[in-house]
């Protein structure tokens, strides 16, 4: 069944033609990724699909009564609403029933209204839907349902927009970089959610593991032409390599790029689908494997950076807290030559704080950071580049340096570096203010690299970069002879670049894992935590026939589930205030927290009593 057809659309801005006469369709059940270089029209295509923009010519035809949700990079949310109100501001009929039930729960004296709402939940089988939407909010760390949209960070707003789109259960979901602002745990949950749900997707994403595991078709816009590949990312790489080879022998460089990428994909362990039979006892086995990956790389660019001395970077007994929130505590580490460290952890565990302490942007509360005299940091932050009016691309990079020295007296000029990062000679003389968001990030990277640092610190360098640029950056970093620290939620990028990980667990707990991200996931999944058993038991209880309970007991059972969930949300909200040091009246909040915990215990005990009757 065809949901949407794009027929011969075109878009230009002045003399700049983004695309013309492109056509494709979206059918039920397809999960399509849309790939294109930054600045070639990805966002324009998405805006045309969503109705936010009109093509210069051609048309988009949608099937009647198809419900579509659009997740943009900058969500347009009503700042006056709460998280819960934003979720319920939908035309989804089941959500309206749940909203009425939620309202009835808050007014327990109105028994008639509650009974009516309860019956509607039963008739429309809305219980599972309610559980799903609470699970989605929990997974995306949106647990304070009464929090106003106006008080949310940019990342929280993006996650709320994603949650709203998922909960609305659209026929077609169109998304622009859905994994941005998600931590690794959230990305993997979303990946599994899309893989198992019967949804129709059309998305722009640079997350290559996401492409590999979620998408069943890839549409690529290149040189104003559209190419379709009926498969996942590995299939796309294979077929694109073959297409490039057949088109022209003069594009050997591009052909090699995709051949390397495909070889890498084939070597990767399937960390999310392969279970280890036992825990990995010897970490040195993983470490040896990590170094072997590095040895397989053939140097193409022998950078002649300033030599690092014997002392590089040392952290001695470093501690840092913000109120009651502990980031580092008695942290010690000495960096060695050529070290490549990836940093992973949930949002808010202190990853960026750690980088700022290293670069002296923040002072630790305790301990000291010693930087060697020969160390020259290149620090790529999430802030981006300052745009000056009437400044051209080539002028921006030349302000930081004219060339990168290579061995044997060779060098890469500023213009050659820009070309390597996909700014052709014509583009180099464009005004910076005309660049797309992704192109500006690409230029910012070049300003860091042209300064010829010997210690690179990269904070989310992959955000907003297209896949081709990511390939170029990865090849550059594999050739880079100095030290590298990377914070990234791009699992593919981390796997390719780093040798070991600092895993930020929260509450000043940092583990040094001697392998890349896939190694880490394999190791983590080889254990069988007790929580999985507990969750399975709870799920089994819910499967049983509820007819063994009386009507009032059924009502109480459902109400208790709801009340326990709400109390858990309240508990987590207060605990978050304590951990962030935002508690004004500690005694009052501590007492409130204890009361909530007591109620959870009481209600859970009663819930188990009723659940036990289902097994009789």
CATH number of the domain encompassing residue 537: 1.10.287
Cβ of 106: how many Cβ atoms within 10 Å?
A: 8
Task: State the average pLDDT over residues 237-266.
Answer: 70
Domain residues for 110? Answer: 77-154
8-state DSSP, 303: B
Confidence band, pLDDT 50/70/90 cuts, at residue 240: confident
Total-model pTM: 0.73
Cα separation of 355 and 336, whole Å? Answer: 17
Q: Residue 545 above 70 pLDDT?
A: no
Share of the chain above pLDDT 70, in %: 85
How distant, in Å, are the alpha carbons of 211, 317, 539 from that of 23? 22, 60, 46
Q: Does an H or E element contain 354, and which?
A: helix 351-358
Q: What pLDDT, on the 0 to 100 scale, is given for residue 578?
A: 66
Q: What pLDDT, on the 0 to 100 scale, is given for residue 376?
A: 93
From 525, 545, 560, the end of a domain falls on: 525
Q: What pLDDT, on the 0 to 100 scale, is given for residue 281?
A: 45
Dihedral sign of CA atoms 397, 400, 403, 408 in order? negative
481 and 577 co-located in one domain:
no
327 and 439 co-located in one domain:
yes
More confident residue, 584 or 410: 410
More confident residue, 271 or 62: 62
Task: State the average pLDDT over residues 582-599.
Answer: 76
State the distance between the two ends of the chain, measured CA to CA, in whole angstroms: 46
Number of domains in the chain: 3
Q: Residue 270 above 70 pLDDT?
A: no
Cβ pair 412, 404 in contact under 8 A? yes
Q: Does an H or E element contain 224, and which?
A: none
- Condensed to tens digits (0 to 9), the pLDDT of residues 299-312 reads 566 787 788 888 99
Cβ pair 404, 417 in contact under 8 A? yes
344 and 473 co-located in one domain:
yes
Task: State the average pLDDT over residues 191-200.
Answer: 88
Task: State the average pLDDT over residues 442-462.
Answer: 92
Cβ pair 186, 136 in contact under 8 A? no
Average pLDDT for the chain: 82
Share of the chain above pLDDT 90, in %: 29
Where is average pLDDT lowest: 81-85, 231-235, 502-506, 606-610?
A: 606-610
- Condensed to tens digits (0 to 9), the pLDDT of residues 486-498 reads 999 999 999 999 9
Q: Residue 283 above 60 pLDDT?
A: no
Ranges of beta strands (E only) in 73-189 are: 172-176
433 and 558 co-located in one domain:
no
From 505, 525, 545, the end of a domain falls on: 525
How distant, in Å, are the alpha carbons of 345, 426, 430, 447, 476 from that of 393? 35, 10, 6, 10, 20
Task: State the average pLDDT over residues 524-552.
Answer: 49
567 and 492 co-located in one domain:
no
From 476, 504, 525, the end of a domain falls on: 525
- Condensed to tens digits (0 to 9), the pLDDT of residues 123-142 reads 877 787 778 888 888 889 88
Cα separation of 579 and 348, whole Å? Answer: 11
Confidence band, pLDDT 50/70/90 cuts, at residue 559: confident
Asked whether residue 208 is domain-assigned, the answer is no
Q: Residue 288 above 70 pLDDT?
A: no
Asked whether residue 328 is domain-assigned, the answer is yes
Dihedral sign of CA atoms 427, 429, 432, 433 in order? negative
Q: What pLDDT, on the 0 to 100 scale, is given for residue 557?
A: 78
Which residues neighbour 29 within 8 Å (Cβ) at sequence distance 6 or greater?
A: 198, 200
- Condensed to tens digits (0 to 9), the pLDDT of residues 414-444 reads 999 999 888 889 889 988 888 888 889 899 9
More confident residue, 409 or 161: 161
Q: What pLDDT, on the 0 to 100 scale, is given for residue 546?
A: 43
Cα separation of 212 and 216, whole Å? Answer: 8
469 and 560 co-located in one domain:
no
551 and 606 co-located in one domain:
yes
474 and 356 co-located in one domain:
yes
Cα separation of 529 and 274, whole Å? Answer: 17
Confidence band, pLDDT 50/70/90 cuts, at residue 279: very low
Token representation of residue 281: 């006892």
Q: Residue 471 above 70 pLDDT?
A: yes
More confident residue, 551 or 425: 425
Smallest CA-to-CA distance from 76 within 191, 160, 198 is with 160
Q: What is the CATH classification number for the domain harbouring 371?
A: 3.40.50.300
453 and 505 co-located in one domain:
yes
More confident residue, 549 or 208: 208
Token representation of residue 67: 């419900």
Asked whether residue 518 is domain-assigned, the answer is yes
420 and 548 co-located in one domain:
no
410 and 484 co-located in one domain:
yes
Where is average pLDDT lowest: 425-439, 520-534, 602-616?
A: 520-534
């Amino acid at each position: 069944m065809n949901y949407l057809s794009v027929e011969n659309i075109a878009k230009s801005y002045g003399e700049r033609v983004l695309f013309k006469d492109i056509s494709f369709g979206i059918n039920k059940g397809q999960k399509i990724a849309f790939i294109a270089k930054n600045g070639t029209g990805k966002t324009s295509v998405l805006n045309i699909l969503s109705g936010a923009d009109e093509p210069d010519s051609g048309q988009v035809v949608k099937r009647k009564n198809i419900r579509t949700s659009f997740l943009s990079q900058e969500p347009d949310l009503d700042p006056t609403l709460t998280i819960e109100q934003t979720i319920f501001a939908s035309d989804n009929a089941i959500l309206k029933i749940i909203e009425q039930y939620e309202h009835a729960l808050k007014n327990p004296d109105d028994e008639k209204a509650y009974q009516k709402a309860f019956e509607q939940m039963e008739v429309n089988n809305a219980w599972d839907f309610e559980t799903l939407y609470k699970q989605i909010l929990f997974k995306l760390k949106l647990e304070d349902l009464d929090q106003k949209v106006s008080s949310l960070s940019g990342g929280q707003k993006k996650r709320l927009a994603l949650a709203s789109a998922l909960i609305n259960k659209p026929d077609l979901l169109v998304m622009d970089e859905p994994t941005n602002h998600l931590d690794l745990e959230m990305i993997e949950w979303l990946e599994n959610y899309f893989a198992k749900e019967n949804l129709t997707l059309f998305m722009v994403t640079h997350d290559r593991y996401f492409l590999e595991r979620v998408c069943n078709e890839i549409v690529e816009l290149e040189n104003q032409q559209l190419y379709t590949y009926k498969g996942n990312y590995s299939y796309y790489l294979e077929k694109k390599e073959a297409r490039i080879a057949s088109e022209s022998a003069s594009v050997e460089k591009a052909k090699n790029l995709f051949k390397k990428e495909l070889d890498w994909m084939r070597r990767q362990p399937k960390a999310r689908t392969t279970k280890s039979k036992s825990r990995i006892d010897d970490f040195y086995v993983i470490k040896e494997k990590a170094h072997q990956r590095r040895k397989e790389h053939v140097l193409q660019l022998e950078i002649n950076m300033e030599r690092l001395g014997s002392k590089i970077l040392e952290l001695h007994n470093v501690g840092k807290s913000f109120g009651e929130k502990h980031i580092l505590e008695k942290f010690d580490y000495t960096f060695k030559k050529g070290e490549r460290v990836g940093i992973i952890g949930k949002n808010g565990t202190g990853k960026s704080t750690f980088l700022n302490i290293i670069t002296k942007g923040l002072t630790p509360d305790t301990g000291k950071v010693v930087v060697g005299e020969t160390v020259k940091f290149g620090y790529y932050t999430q802030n981006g580049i300052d745009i000056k009016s009437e400044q051209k691309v080539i002028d921006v990079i030349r302000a930081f340096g004219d060339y990168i020295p290579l061995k044997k007296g060779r060098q890469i000029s500023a213009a050659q570096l820009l070309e390597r990062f996909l700014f052709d000679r014509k583009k180099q003389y464009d005004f910076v203010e005309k660049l797309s968001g992704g192109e500006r990030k690409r230029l910012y990277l070049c300003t860091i690299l042209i300064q010829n640092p010997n210690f690179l610190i990269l904070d989310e360098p992959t955000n907003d970069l297209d896949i081709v640029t990511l390939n170029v950056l990865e090849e550059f970093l594999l050739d880079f002879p100095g030290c590298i620290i990377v914070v990234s939620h791009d699992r593919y990028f981390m796997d390719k670049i780093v040798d070991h990980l600092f895993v930020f667990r929260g509450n000043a707990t940092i583990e040094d894992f001697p392998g890349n991200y896939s190694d880490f996931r394999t190791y983590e999944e080889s254990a069988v935590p007790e929580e999985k058993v507990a969750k399975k038991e709870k799920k089994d209880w819910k499967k049983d026939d509820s007819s063994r309970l009386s009507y009032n007991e059924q009502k109480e059972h459902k109400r208790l589930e709801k009340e326990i969930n709400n109390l858990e949300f309240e508990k987590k909200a207060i605990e978050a205030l304590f951990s962030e040091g935002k508690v004004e009246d500690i005694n009052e909040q501590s007492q409130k927290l204890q009361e909530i915990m007591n109620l959870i215990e009481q209600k859970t005990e009663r819930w188990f009593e009723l659940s036990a009757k289902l097994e009789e």
